[in-house]
Chain A
Amino acid sequence: MKEKELQVKSRTENLSKIREFIQDYASSVGFDQEAIDNMMLAVDEACTNIIKHAYKSYPDGEIVIKISYKEKKLTINIIDFGKAFHPESIPEPNIQEYYKQHRVGGLGMYLMKTLMDEVKYISIPGKYNQVFLTKSLNSSH
């Protein structure tokens, strides 16, 4: 299946369009709805993090999402041109801490890792950040 690309501005109103883009592509290559739901959530979390952290809610940043399917593996590559991202600085989720702090942090990254087969980050400071999410057609969830 040919690679497809979606480019949107860094605004939360675009999250639904992003989810639809993933839904359409993943269903066309044969993933079941449960796997698609997981992928949509993982991509939503990645893009929400980009909007809030890489672009700090600046509404005119670019987000590029490339999706491809090869050898029964779907790869989603999300690129932004915002602030450099250091995944190792994000704490593991801790429900008791959230309660104390009245907020959640790092949940999105945890969900991405849990819902996808593989999550990989590449950050070139001052240039771009890239996250690769992959899922095999035959993986269990």
Chain B
Amino acid sequence: MAEFNTSVKDQGDVSIVYLNGYLDAHTASVLENNFSELISKDKYKIVVNFKDLQYISSAGLGVFMAFIEKIRENNGDIKLTSMSDKVYNIFDLLGFPLLYEIYRSEEEAVKKFEEIKKLEK
């Protein structure tokens, strides 16, 4: 059976979620729980690192859609990073790059949150 797991790391006030394996209709609830937990702790600055994600179906894409508005209403965002070409192509086919910021590296995505923070001061 295909595996999917995640891990979460805090870097300052940014939470980085690492995806590993196969994200489909069976495993999507794992990521849903991650987002729900972050929101319950008022952590709205989220970077999702796709480096070790092998596969995503529309059920996985749906998870991002379920939480994004709530997160943005709280001055946060979900920024995506380090996608393989294969996974990016699926996002691109469906027009997701219009709604989500996608960065090559995790550092860039985290930095973006820090820049916004500076502007807010």
Contacts and interface: CB of A to CB of B under 8 A. Distances in A.
B96 interface: yes
A95 B99 contact: yes
A9 to B, nearest CB: 13
Interface in A38-97: 40-41, 44-45, 48, 51-52, 93, 95
Contacts, number: 72
B30 interface: no
A19 B99 contact: no
Interface residues of A, number: 27
Contacts of A2: none
Given A41-B90, A95-B94, A95-B99, A15 B61 contact: no
B94 A12 contact: no
Interface residues of B, number: 25
Nearest to B93: A114
Interface stretch (B39-47, B64-72, B108-116): B64-72
Interface of A: 12-13, 15-17, 19, 34, 37, 40-41, 44-45, 48, 51-52, 93, 95, 98-99, 102-104, 107-108, 110-111, 114
21 contacts: A12-B24, A13-B1, A13-B26, A15-B2, A15-B24, A16-B24, A17-B1, A41-B57, A48-B24, A48-B58, A93-B94, A95-B96, A99-B65, A99-B68, A102-B67, A102-B68, A103-B62, A107-B61, A107-B62, A111-B90, A111-B93
Interface of B: 1-2, 22, 24-26, 55, 57-59, 61-62, 65-69, 86, 90, 93-96, 98-99
